[in-house]
Each structure stands twice: as C-alpha cells, then as structure tokens.
Amino acid sequence: MRSYAVPLALAADLLCVLAFVVIGRADHGTGTALAGIAGTAWPFAAALVLGWLVTQAWRLPDRIWPTGVFVWAVTVAGAMALRLATGENAPLSFVVVTSVFLAATMLGWRAGLLLARRTRQRTG
C-alpha cells in the first residue's frame, strides 16, 4: 500500500460526511456558514474517527468489506448516539437518509476504486 493511501482514504470518508452535512444544511435552509457546518458535522466526524479506530481501517482502508461496511455502520450509529446525547434529535427518516447517503458515498468511492483496479488489471 502506498504511503498516501491511508490519509487519502480517511479524507475521502470525511469528505462523504461533509458532503452529507453541507447538502443537508443547504436543503433545509439552515445555512452553510462554517460554524454551522462544524456544529452539525462534529458528531459524524467523531463517529467516523471511532469507526476507523475500532476497525483499524488503516490496515485495509479501501476495502468495501469489512472495512467500509463497518466504518460506515459505526459512523451512522455513533453519530446518532452523539446527536441524542447532546439533545439533538434523530427521527427515523433522518437515520434512514443518513444511512443511505453515507452508504452510497462511503462504500461508493471504495467500489469505484475496486472497479478501476479490476479494469486496469484486465487492460494492463
């Protein structure tokens, strides 16, 4: 694995979380000011870091299974727990949208990378 693979993988997961937060805040008209984004994003970012630690994602950061699936699951569950613990809400519709968006993006970039590697192996 190349030395830059782990930081890039962590950055890709963080970008998925930030995209979710920015899109959600813009869609709900709550603004895209940096402080607001940070306030909304921190439970997700903290849970993402926890997911990376629990799964030791740095070992195989670009794998869909088990790394991606477990990092995604810990991110969603941890973020919801942190939101509830800090007095925010987490209605079922929010949990579903969060889960689907983060699965599509966090597993999606890994799937795209896997597809690119397989295509390169066949053609190269």
pLDDT of residue 51: 98
58-97 per-position pLDDT tens digit: 999 999 999 999 999 999 999 999 999 999 999 999 999 9
pLDDT of residue 38: 97
Residue entry with tokens 């925010």: 88
pLDDT category, 110, cuts 50, 70, 90? very high
Which is nearest to 112 in space by CA: 4, 24, 9, 1? 9
Helix axis angle, 92-102 to 5-27, nearest 10°: 140
* For range 17-26, the mean pLDDT: 97
Contacts 24+ apart (CB under 8 A), 49-53: 50/74, 50/75, 50/78, 51/75, 51/78, 52/10, 52/13
pLDDT category, 40, cuts 50, 70, 90? very high
pLDDT of residue 78: 98
Residue type present at position 85: A
Distance separating alpha carbons of residues 64 and 10, to the nearest angstrom: 14
pTM: 0.95
* For range 40-67, the mean pLDDT: 98
pLDDT of residue 71: 98
Distance separating alpha carbons of residues 42 and 15, to the nearest angstrom: 13
What is the overall mean pLDDT for the chain?
A: 96
pLDDT of 124 strictly over 80: no
Structure tokens at 120: 């390169």
In the chain, the N- to C-terminal Cα span, in Å, equals 19
